[in-house]
A and B are shown apart, each in its own frame.
Chain A
């Protein structure tokens, strides 16, 4: 999946690892966001930092939390490097034009941050 394919939609990109407690704490809110807003042009996209995790642990994690949004595996650390991830989790809010508008480094994300930021970006239209 390419981010450019998601132009016209609001993207919440969350980079996480299964061993990271704040990642675990915020994951249910991301799943709720996906369930409530997917039909309104919001895409929740997870990237497991597999370079510092394991595929099996990532799969177990996704199953444990019942995650149904797409999750990419960053096996060689390319996404982690590209997005200069210095702390897990890191969450990027990307507007409909594909521009990163807000970055939250660390967590757990308060659900109010998720929801209000997405509402702002949805409200901008485009």
Chain B
């Protein structure tokens, strides 16, 4: 864990730096993949920017909407430079909608564009996991397994390391996929399905889960829904190929 990197008099928040690196690396990979797929690299880069800005604004507004009383008293808190007061699920939805709208207006084909974004998103997930390793966030549940790490006063599952290993494996897998094959949308579908499956499993080792109805881990339920949706979409996309092969 290294939340603050001290370089001389400068104290650098390493998790924030890693997230910025993730955005940069993700954009570079997505742009490269877009060109391999015959798409406009600039178009995809702008689409990422639009999605990112809309996503961050949406995540903050979504969070503020849950605590209207707090933000009504202190509207300047809307501008607080902290990732803690963001609603990631709202941000992801709004960012995605904004990116889709932008993509349509720029006439970027949907499935190839999503495929182009996949390696970038996988790389960002690796940087996010590294940020969690650095900050100690997304920490594990208490355990007595031999590989437990002592964090926040007790031995815990090294959930951040699990997350990092899963993210690296997904990135390696996505990078090995040939662009556009076997059909457009495959790379994105596989990335989403693998990410959801990983979260579904790894959430069980987390010590900071948000619980629904006292016993259900919210992230596992959401991941399960996303996994099933991704598999359904992949099945629907693969069906015409199977029919044609008969």
Which A residues contact B (CB, under 8 angstroms)? 82-84, 86-87, 92, 99-106, 110-113, 115-117, 119, 124
Contacts and interface: CB of A to CB of B under 8 A. Distances in A.
A86 B67 contact: no
A92 B151 CA distance: 12
Contacts of B40: none
Interface stretch (B76-84, B97-105, B225-233): B76-84
A111 B70 CA distance: 9
A100 B152 contact: yes
B153 interface: yes
A115 B70 contact: yes
B4 A87 contact: yes
A116 B13 contact: no
A86 B2 CA distance: 7
Contacts of A82: 153
Per DSSP, are chain A's interface residues mostly helix, strand or loop, or mixed? mixed
Contacts of B136: 84, 103, 105
A87 B211 CA distance: 29
B1 A86 contact: yes
Contacts of B139: 100, 103
Interface of B: 1-4, 11, 13, 63, 66-67, 70-71, 74, 77, 80, 82, 84-85, 135-137, 139, 150-153, 207-208, 211
A105 B152 CA distance: 11
Nearest to A113: B84
Contacts, number: 68
B82 A99 contact: no
B208 A101 contact: yes
Contact of A106 (B4, B67, B152): B4
A101 to B, nearest CB: 6
25 contacts: A83-B153, A84-B150, A86-B1, A86-B2, A86-B3, A87-B4, A92-B152, A99-B207, A100-B207, A102-B84, A103-B137, A103-B139, A103-B152, A105-B136, A106-B4, A106-B13, A110-B80, A110-B82, A112-B77, A112-B80, A112-B85, A113-B82, A116-B66, A116-B85, A119-B70
Nearest to B81: A110
Contact of B85 (A83, A103, A113): A113
A105 B4 contact: yes
Contacts of A115: 67, 70
B87 to A, nearest CB: 10
Contacts of B84: 102, 104, 110, 113, 117
B207 to A, nearest CB: 7
Contacts of A83: 152-153
A111 B77 contact: yes
| Highest count of chain A CB atoms <10 Å: which of B3, B80, B150 | B3
A99 B137 CA distance: 14
Given A84-B151, A87-B4, A113-B82, 10 more contacts: A84-B136, A86-B4, A102-B208, A103-B136, A110-B84, A111-B77, A116-B67, A116-B85, A119-B70, A124-B211
